[in-house]
């Protein structure tokens, strides 16, 4: 019996000579090229205002580059339609904004489960998954609270739970440990490492040298 080599698929993000400027602004991103692999946690670091968040928005297909190309698993993203990009964002990406951006009118649990509605997942299964994630990040006891009743660090971890609901191939997080104490920061970094070990491509922006040294 012959054995065919097993091709392990790894999510891959390739950036080629990308430039970006906001309307009427000087260039924020100039000639950026890099490759991000599944299985790795990569930290983007640099002083405030250098363009970390902007680069994450580009990598997460929220901004369109002014020139250059970003490939996802070999596919050029600049020629994708807005709806195709939205589909990628919903199914392949988990994005965590720096300021959590939770819906204040809904409970923590509903916020975590929000994206699964777009993916037509069963409610009972997403509820189970949401609780598993909230347990992992130590915020399950806040499930029925509103975002106005929790701390900034809890909000940040709840946004992380929401982003991880679909086991995304690409996890992109903007200063995800900014509001966290050292223990909780370790929980979050361990979570990134375990997702990367499971094959995800994790990219974070941070100016914390301890976090950088662990990426
Ligand atoms: P960082 O995350 O490294 O602090 P940002 O990517 O947020 O940096 O910002 C990079 C530069 O782009 C800054 O000079 C900032 O003022 C500018 N900038 C960010 N967002 C906008 C925007 N929406 N419109 C215009 N300029 C912006
Ligand atoms: Mg930023």
Q: Could you read off the pLDDT of 155-168 as tens digits, one per residue? A: 999 999 999 999 99
Q: How confident is the model at residue 8 (pLDDT cuts 50, 70, 90)?
A: low
What span, in angstroms and rounded, lies between the C-alpha atoms of 188 and 176?
Answer: 8
Other beta carbons less than 10 A from residue 133's beta carbon: 21
Classify residue 93 by its DSSP letter: E
Confidence band for 78, pLDDT divided at 50, 70 and 90: very high
Q: What is the DSSP letter of 119?
A: T
Is pLDDT at 181 greater than 80 in this prediction? Answer: yes
Helix 152-164 with 123-136: angle, nearest 10 deg: 130
Q: Whose CA is nearest to atom 16 of ligand 1?
A: 49
Please determine, for residue 24, whether its predicted confidence score (pLDDT) is greater than 90.
no
Are 130 and 109 within 8 A, CB to CB?
yes
User: Ligand 1 in contact with 51 (CB < 6 A)?
Assistant: yes
* Nearest protein Cα to ligand 1, atom 25: 22
Tokens representing residue 23 in the block: 């309307």
Q: Which atom of ligand 1 is nearest to the CA of 46?
A: 3
Does 50 contact ligand 1 (Cβ within 6 A)? yes
Residue with the smallest CA separation from ligand 1 atom 26 is 22
- The answer on pLDDT for 76 being more than 90 is yes
**Residue given tokens 């191939």 in the structure block:** 169
What Å distances lie between residue 101 and 32, 133, 177, CA to CA?
Answer: 28, 18, 15
Pairing of strands 12-21, 27-37: antiparallel
- Residue 136: phi and psi, rounded to 5, are -55, -40
- Residue in 24, 43, 44, 51 to alter for ligand 1 test, most ligand atoms within 8 A of Cβ: 51
Which residue lies with its CA nearest to atom 18 of ligand 1? 22
Q: Are 100 and 160 in contact (CB under 8 A)?
A: no
Residue 90's pLDDT is 87
Q: Under a CB-based contact definition with an 8 Å cutoff, are residues 59 and 15 in contact? A: yes
Longest dimension (CA), the chain: 64
Closest CA to 180 of 169, 188, 170: 188
User: Which ligand has an atom closest to residue 51 CA?
Assistant: 1
Backbone torsion region of residue 13, taken as left when φ is above 0, otherwise alpha when ψ lies between -120 and 50, otherwise beta: beta
Please give the average per-residue pLDDT across 24-37, as a whole number: 93
């Amino acid at each position: 019996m012959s054995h065919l080599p097993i091709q392990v698929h790894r999510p891959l993000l390739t950036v080629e000579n990308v430039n970006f400027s906001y309307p009427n602004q000087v260039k924020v991103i100039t000639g950026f090229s890099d490759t991000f692999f599944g299985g790795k946690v990569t930290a983007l670091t640099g002083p405030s205002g250098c363009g970390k968040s902007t680069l994450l928005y580009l990598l997460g297909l929220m901004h369109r580059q002014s020139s250059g190309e970003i490939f996802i698993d070999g596919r050029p993203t600049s020629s994708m339609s807005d709806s195709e990009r939205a589909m990628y964002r919903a199914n392949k990406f988990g994005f965590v904004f720096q300021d959590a951006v939770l819906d204040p009118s809904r409970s923590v649990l509903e916020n975590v489960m929000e994206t699964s509605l777009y993916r037509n997942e069963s409610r009972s299964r997403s509820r189970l998954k949401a609780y598993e994630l909230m347990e992992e990040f130590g915020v399950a006891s806040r499930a029925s609270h509103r975002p106005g009743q929790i701390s900034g660090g809890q909000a940040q971890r709840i946004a992380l739970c929401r982003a991880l609901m679909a086991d995304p191939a690409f996890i992109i997080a903007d200063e995800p440990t900014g509001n966290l104490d050292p223990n909780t920061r370790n929980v979050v970094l361990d979570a990134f490492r375990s997702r990367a070990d499971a094959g995800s491509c994790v990219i974070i922006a941070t100016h914390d040298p301890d976090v950088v040294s662990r990426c």
